[in-house]
Amino acid sequence: MDRDHEAPYQYDTRLIHGQFRTEKWEYDHHVIPPITASTTFRLDSASRGRTGFVDFADPKHAAQAISPIYIYDRLDEPTVGMLEDMMRDAEGGETACAFACGMSAISAALMVTGRAGSSVVAHRTLYGCTFSLLTNWLPRYGMTTRFVNGGDPEAVVAAVDDTTRAVYLETPANPTLQVLDIAAVRRALEPINARRGAKDQVVLVVDNTFATPWAQRPLALGADIVVESLTKDVGGFGVDMGGMVVAPRRFHKSLKGFRKDFGGVLPPASAWRLMVYGLSTLGLRIERQTETAGRVARYLESHPAVGRVLYPGLESFPQADVARRQLVDPKGRFCPGFMVYFEVAGKDIEESRARCERLVNFIATHSYCITLAVSLGMTKTLIETPGLMTHSSMDSRALSEAGIHPGGVRMAIGLEDADDVIRDLDEAFRSI
Ligand SMILES: *Cc1c(COP(=O)(O)O)cnc(C)c1O
């Protein structure tokens, strides 16, 4: 091929063009990458089929023509492979493994890094289902979690003990948007890892769903593994679920092996849409959403019915310095993102909670361009109240420790006209 894939083309250009081939598949003649629909693959001989299963996902064989061959969709598949290559490059990692959704990616990352008797140290503000995974499911298999403030690297290190194999952070955190300093946590973990053998290293895992690789590249900041939901702004249109783990090469075999045996496979048609429609328009969408989010955040900050606004782009944001360093687009420009969190004011918590519910219910029944729905990162602006909805798996103590106010509202800004979003909000505030 004459075209130079290594030339320093810009990040957004690369998200559109990709590489025209994977290690196992060439599709250079296609302007739009092909989409596959074959659950199984023809084999030349029984022994070749056997080789495929035995050597499956062994990096020693990955680059060789014979192996691993495509055998069955759950093991490996061409269209999903293209998306994995794109995401690996977007995150700047060594290997990527796609999953059916964000939760299957997160559970895979935690289960391949841990084992019975091992522990996780996690930031205490997390996506509700991740919290439920760590507290309801992993303990059944002998894995426990200690929750700390991930914004305090010393507290993270203090919670690490001999059993700890993973530190798990979500930043910006859901729903409060707390920004955690990934590089500082990495530095704090270094002396611990320096004393440990290769097998016992504490692996730093970061959920990059809220920022997407457009606005934050955790691996470059010192994370070992990135997990993310592609269902959100990477997909961008709200039509497909998907998840991705991007990791060092040493996890390649275990991640692919985990997916082979636990399942959670991303359908090729979803992989294709996530790549062709989602990734190629990610920068464009997120920049527009971010511009609107900034306007909405400033509007909310000036509104008397609002107690507190948390948006990484506001001067008042508690971790404004870290945010400015960490949330940057591929050209280094500050990209505070499309999520906004605010608390409805009230004379006490109960009034604030009641007014919040009235606000959200008004929007649900009256708003044209703000929709009451969970999820985020779509063309449409979504609103929800975490204490009552997404984070209801947490009891009131866990909610308060995570900084989630009963009158808290989470907004995921879409691609509508900013004035229209503000008009619908304004009308809703007048109703409470
Ligand atoms: C949505 C989300 C997940 C889970 O992703 P799914 O694709 O819904 O399984 C994980 N983490 C964060 C931060 C999320 O917003």
- 314 in the same domain as 299: yes
User: Which of 212, 226, 229 maximizes ligand 1 atoms within 8 Å of its Cβ, making it the mutation to test the pocket?
Assistant: 229
Number of separate domains in the chain: 2
Q: Is residue 142 part of a domain?
A: yes
Percent of the chain exceeding pLDDT 90 equals 81
Q: What is the 3-state secondary structure (H, E, C) of 208-245?
A: CCCCHHHHCCHHHHCCCEEEEECCCCCCCCCCCCCEEE
User: Which of 207, 232, 374, 391 maximizes ligand 1 atoms within 8 Å of its Cβ, making it the mutation to test the pocket?
Assistant: 232
Domain stop point among 277, 310, 326: 277
State the pLDDT at residue 411: 98
| Ligand 1 centre distance from Cα of residue 376 (Å) | 9
Q: Whose CA is closest to 49, among 39, 41, 37?
A: 41
Helical ranges in 160-301 per DSSP H: 182-194, 212-215, 252-262, 268-273, 280-301
- 106 in the same domain as 254: yes
Q: What is the pTM of this model?
A: 0.94
State the pLDDT at residue 43: 87
- 174 in the same domain as 108: yes
Higher pLDDT, 125 or 290: 290
Q: Is residue 410 part of a domain?
A: yes
Is the pLDDT score of 118 beyond 70?
yes
Q: Give the pLDDT mean for 246-268.
A: 96
- 225 in the same domain as 94: yes
State the pLDDT at residue 258: 96
Is the pLDDT score of 62 beyond 70?
no
Mapped onto helix, strand or coil, the DSSP state of residue 85 is helix
Instruction: Report the CATH number at residue 96.
Output: 3.40.640.10
User: Which of 171, 174, 225 maximizes ligand 1 atoms within 8 Å of its Cβ, making it the mutation to test the pocket?
Assistant: 174
| Ligand 1 centre distance from Cα of residue 103 (Å) | 6
- 66 in the same domain as 175: yes
Domain stop point among 261, 277, 293: 277
Comparing 12-21, 266-275, 310-319, 344-353, the range with the smallest average pLDDT is 12-21
- 299 in the same domain as 160: no
Domain stop point among 230, 247, 277: 277
Q: Is residue 2 part of a domain?
A: no
Is the pLDDT score of 351 beyond 90?
yes
- 162 in the same domain as 289: no
Confidence grade of residue 63 (pLDDT, cut at 50, 70, 90)? very low
Instruction: Report the CATH number at residue 357.
Output: 3.90.1150.10
* Rounded CA separation 308/343 (Å): 5
State the pLDDT at residue 1: 45
Q: Whose CA is closest to 304, among 177, 176, 178, 426?
A: 426
Using one digit for the tens of pLDDT, what is the confidence trace for 358-380? 999 999 999 999 999 999 999 99
Eight-class DSSP state of 205: E
Q: Is residue 3 part of a domain?
A: no
Q: Is residue 346 part of a domain?
A: yes
> Which residues form ligand 1's pocket by a CB distance below 6 Å?
101-103, 127, 129-130, 170, 174, 207, 209-210, 229, 231-232, 241, 243
Q: Give the pLDDT mean for 121-144.
A: 95
| Ligand 1 centre distance from Cα of residue 304 (Å) | 32
Backbone φ and ψ of 297, nearest 5°: -65, -40
- 351 in the same domain as 307: yes
| Ligand 1 centre distance from Cα of residue 127 (Å) | 7
Q: Of all atoms in ligand 1, which is nearest to the CA of residue 376?
A: 15
The token pair that represents 408 in the structure block: 């808290």
Confidence grade of residue 390 (pLDDT, cut at 50, 70, 90)? confident
User: Which of 87, 127, 375, 404 maximizes ligand 1 atoms within 8 Å of its Cβ, making it the mutation to test the pocket?
Assistant: 127
Eight-class DSSP state of 279: I
Q: Which residues contact 277 (CB under 8 A, 6 or more apart)?
A: 235, 236, 237
- 113 in the same domain as 251: yes
Angle made by CA atoms 208, 209, 215, in degrees to the nearest 5: 65
Q: Is the Cβ–Cβ distance between 206 and 182 less than 8 Å?
A: yes
| Ligand 1 centre distance from Cα of residue 3 (Å) | 37
- 293 in the same domain as 263: no
* Rounded CA separation 386/362 (Å): 17
The token pair that represents 174 in the structure block: 């859901």
Higher pLDDT, 128 or 110: 110
The burial class, CB within 10 Å (0-12 / 13-18 / 19+), for 404 is buried
- 84 in the same domain as 181: yes
**Domain limits for position 375:** 283-431
Q: Is residue 232 part of a domain?
A: yes
* Measured distance between the N- and C-terminal CA atoms of the chain, rounded to whole angstroms: 63
State the pLDDT at residue 335: 98
Distance of CA 408 to the CA centre of its chain: 22
Q: Is residue 395 part of a domain?
A: yes
Q: Is residue 238 part of a domain?
A: yes
Q: Is the Cβ–Cβ distance between 188 and 160 less than 8 Å?
A: no
Which residues are registered as beta bridge partners of 340? 411
Task: Calculate the average pLDDT of the chain.
Answer: 93
- 233 in the same domain as 336: no
Confidence grade of residue 395 (pLDDT, cut at 50, 70, 90)? confident
Confidence grade of residue 2 (pLDDT, cut at 50, 70, 90)? low
Comparing 52-61, 153-162, 288-297, the range with the smallest average pLDDT is 52-61
